[in-house]
């Protein structure tokens, strides 16, 4: 299942831009990068997450790693073994909260910063997306 419907891509792009603009203003005001959370409506966050997952999926297509950003989306990326037909979960799974994902996607924080802080749950051999980020 796609992270975003085709007809929602323009709205996703706008939401992503709104999130980036709000994050930039917070950073200019001296907010800590690792706790950055712009005060935007929930639908804006949801659409920004879905759009950035769509960008990730286009950048690294494949069935080998599932990236989950609950509650708003999940995509499968990178080559590798596909999902087990019994549980539909690939051998590599990465889970992040929306604020962590968007900071990474924007390049505000790095994979190692977020991982070292314990804000990324990753299982499997391909548990590092740093080569694919920022988007």
pLDDT tens across 50-72, in order?
A: 999 999 999 999 988 999 999 99
Q: Indicate the pTM of the whole model.
A: 0.92
Q: How far apart are CA 69 and CA 72, in angstroms?
A: 6
Retrieve residue 94's tokens. 């990465």
- What confidence category does residue 19 fall into, taking pLDDT thresholds of 50, 70 and 90? very high
Helix (H, G, I), strand (E, B) or coil at 99: helix
Q: What domains does the chain contain, in order, with CATH numbers?
A: 6-132 (3.30.1050.40)
Q: How far apart are CA 53 and CA 72, in angstroms?
A: 10
Helix (H, G, I), strand (E, B) or coil at 24: helix
CA distance readout (Å), 35 to 21, 39, 114: 16, 12, 10
Q: Which residues does residue 74 pair with via DSSP β-bridges, in sequence order?
A: 68
What is the pLDDT, as a whole number, of residue 85? 59
Q: How far apart are CA 6 and CA 128, in angstroms?
A: 28
Burial class (CB in 10 A: 0-12, 13-18, 19+), 105: buried
Tell me how crowded residue 133 is: count the other CB atoms within 10 A of its CB. Answer: 20
């Amino acid at each position: 299942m796609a992270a975003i419907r085709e007809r929602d891509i323009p709205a996703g792009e706008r939401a992503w831009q709104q999130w980036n603009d709000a994050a930039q203003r917070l950073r200019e005001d001296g907010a800590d990068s690792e706790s950055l959370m712009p005060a935007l409506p929930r639908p804006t966050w949801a659409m920004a997450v879905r759009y950035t997952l769509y960008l990730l999926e286009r950048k690294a297509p494949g069935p080998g790693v599932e990236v989950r950003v609950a509650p708003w989306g999940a995509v499968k990326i990178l080559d590798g073994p596909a999902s087990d037909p019994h549980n539909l979960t690939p051998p590599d799974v990465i889970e992040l909260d929306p604020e962590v994902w968007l900071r990474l996607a924007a390049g505000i924080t790095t994979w190692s910063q977020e991982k070292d802080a314990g804000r990324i749950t990753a299982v499997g051999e391909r548990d590092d997306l740093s080569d694919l980020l920022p988007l």
